[in-house]
Amino acid sequence: MRGLSSKEMEIVSWLEFYKKYFFSAKDIEQFSKSRMQRYNIIKGLIQKGRIVKLGKTRYCLVPVKAKSGKWAEHPFIIADEACGGKDYFIGGWAAANYWGLTEQIPMQTDVYTTRRQGVLEALSSRIVFHRTTKAKAERAVKKEISKHRFRIQPKKDSRKWMESRQ
């Protein structure tokens, strides 16, 4: 783990003090004189393992108390932050496990969204993004875990999904 510069340490300390563990580049613009300097600071923090990129403008802070640079966060929280809290829902095995329909622990979290596709591997979690319609995303149920709200597929839809897998 490489050491942090005084500017990087100032930013990490500020984020931790205000408990901004998930943030955007705009949140730290006060620490830089230009967009290029802000970009370089973010790039340096990513290389040093102090922040993890979740999306185009969303980042996750690895706190100073994580001495080795290893940190874990609940995959549902990571999915919510990566999607910006809207137009998505958690489905598949993760939703079935959440509702108690299966005891199988999911290897990945399937997120159905109207915005993005692909795979995100961040903070020891594998999140796979699938496309869906806005109507299906609006049917999602809002729940809370560790004082953080997330959207998940309704229980009856998860049950139908499970039946289609057998």
Q: How would DSSP label each residue in 96-120?
A: HHHTTS--PPPSSEEEEESS--EEE
Domain hosting 57: range is: 6-61
In 3-138 the beta strands, taken as DSSP E runs, fall at 22-24, 51-53, 58-61, 88-91, 109-113, 118-122, 125-131
Which pLDDT score, from 0 to 100, does residue 69 have?
60
Q: Are residues 44 and 99 in the same domain?
A: no
**pLDDT top residue among 141 and 123:** 141
**pLDDT top residue among 43 and 49:** 43
**102 lies in some domain:** yes
Q: Are residues 45 and 79 in the same domain?
A: no
Q: Chain centroid to CA 139: how far? A: 21
Average pLDDT estimate for 85-108: 92
Asked if 88 and 114 count as a contact pair (C-beta separation under 8 A), the reply is: yes
Residue 152 has pLDDT above 80, yes or no: yes
What's the domain count of the chain? 2
Backbone CA torsion sign across 134, 135, 137, 142: positive
Under the banding of pLDDT at 50, 70 and 90, the label for residue 127 is: very high
Under the banding of pLDDT at 50, 70 and 90, the label for residue 70 is: low
Chain segment 132-146, per-residue pLDDT in tens = 999 999 999 999 988
Chain segment 25-36, per-residue pLDDT in tens = 899 889 989 999
Average pLDDT estimate for 1-14: 83
**67 lies in some domain:** no
Q: Are residues 31 and 107 in the same domain?
A: no
